[in-house]
Structure 1
């Protein structure tokens, strides 16, 4: 991103007070206990099984491990999953697997 683009983003953050997830394409994760999860701003499903779900993000991936995982809805860039969620791991681009 150019210096002007970064300056403009900084200005809009301060003046408009917009949430970070909208401005920098970060995921928004809502967890209800360990039974239900909603992820917004993902870029697609990379891997899915009843024990693991991997989502592509703008800057990396999100891994959800658990038992009996079921994708209950996918609406655009929003995904809901239910089951017993045991672990959530965020991996940035370039991080060793």
Structure 2
């Protein structure tokens, strides 16, 4: 089958890689392949942050790397590859464990800051 107009047809996507935005194939890491094979969540196998938001009252962040800033209006939590900022009013840290942080208050927003970019 011929490639569609505007496509080169050279972008093979096999089991071992994903075609990225640049068109090149990124080889999947052993952790990614193992996690997929065992049907494990990415947060567990890749040390990615897992964020659970309960309404506008509570946020729990797992796999964090510490607190960078804390005030009643903003909490910044370091994660793999950047920061998560929690904005709101009357924010408090209920607990900080080695692998989990729980913040409560009137949460108005979350912002991800990754490698010099804001998302």
TM-score (norm 1): 0.86
Question: Per chain length, whose mean CA-contact separation is higher, i.e. which structure has more relative contact order (CA < 8 Å, sep 6+)?
Answer: 1
Please say which structure displays the higher CA radius of gyration: 2
Residues paired across the two proteins, number: 93
What's the counterpart of residue 36 of structure 1? Answer: 58
Deviation at 1:13, TM superposition (A): 2.5
Q: Higher mean Cα deviation, 44-53 or 25-34?
A: 25-34
Distance 1:94 1:36 in 2: 27
Aligned-pair CA distance for 1:35: 0.7
Structure with the higher helix share, 1 or 2: 1
- On the 8 A contact 2:81/2:115 being kept in 1, the answer is yes
Change (3 A) 1:15 1:49: same
TM-score, normalization: structure 2?
0.71
User: Which residue does 1:80 correspond to in 2?
Assistant: 102
Q: How far apart, CA to CA, are the structure 1 residues paired with 2:63 and 2:39?
A: 19
* Structure 1 or 2: more strand by fraction: 1
Q: CA deviation at 1:5?
A: 7.8
Where structure 2 has 5 or more consecutive residues not aligned to the other structure, the ranges are 1-25
Question: How many Å separate the matches in 1 of 2:76 and 2:32?
Answer: 31
